[in-house]
A and B are shown apart, each in its own frame.
Chain A
Amino acid sequence: GAVVSQHPSWVICKSGTSVKIECRSLDFQATTMFWYRQFPKQSLMLMATSNEGSKATYEQGVEKDKFLINHASLTLSTLTVTSAHPEDSSFYICSASAKNTEAFFGQGTRLTVV
């Protein structure tokens, strides 16, 4: 199957700083990418949907100014957590799909804000 790579796998940052997470489709062109968040011992919740070249669509309750999503190319989407705080510590997972094809998940990024 297709490969979606997330980087970094884990990151620790200081409170108040920003951190960028990358999601790459390695062997296909991803027209759509989804970003999910998983709180400890909970399920994955969709944060936003991004289509290449368009602004991301955020789910209700997700702060678009805090979680900046960029999908500038068909193989890369980035999620930037701005002015991170400890409550932003979570597991972030992306999925990517080409037009009219199934979606594939990245391995996830564990963010710890100290």
Chain B
Amino acid sequence: GENVGLHLPTLSVQEGDNSIINCAYSNSASDYFIWYKQESGKGPQFIIDIRSNMDKRQGQRVTVLLNKTVKHLSLQIAATQPGDSAVYFCALCWVQGAQKLVFGQGTRLTINP
């Protein structure tokens, strides 16, 4: 069945360093994967997605890597800033008649000055 987990519930990094947030999944049938950022008191915000037939996708300061062999997804944030402090969720997505998402539990990223 669908199962999305995260290696670490919390991650602390120094401002300016790179952050890597990981996500493991068990279901191989996903059409694509999405990373969301959720700041305190707000709804999740779309960051970046990657199709299941890709292994890397880059955005502005973010890179998502997908390793389907070991069913692992990661989000890399370059030059972490205080504004990056949030909870990050990975989500698996299926498009069969309707798009459906299954979310992981989330990783809280804190930035140390």
A-B complex is real: no
Residues of chain B touching chain A, judged by Cβ–Cβ distance below 8 Å, are none
Residues of chain A touching chain B, judged by Cβ–Cβ distance below 8 Å, are none
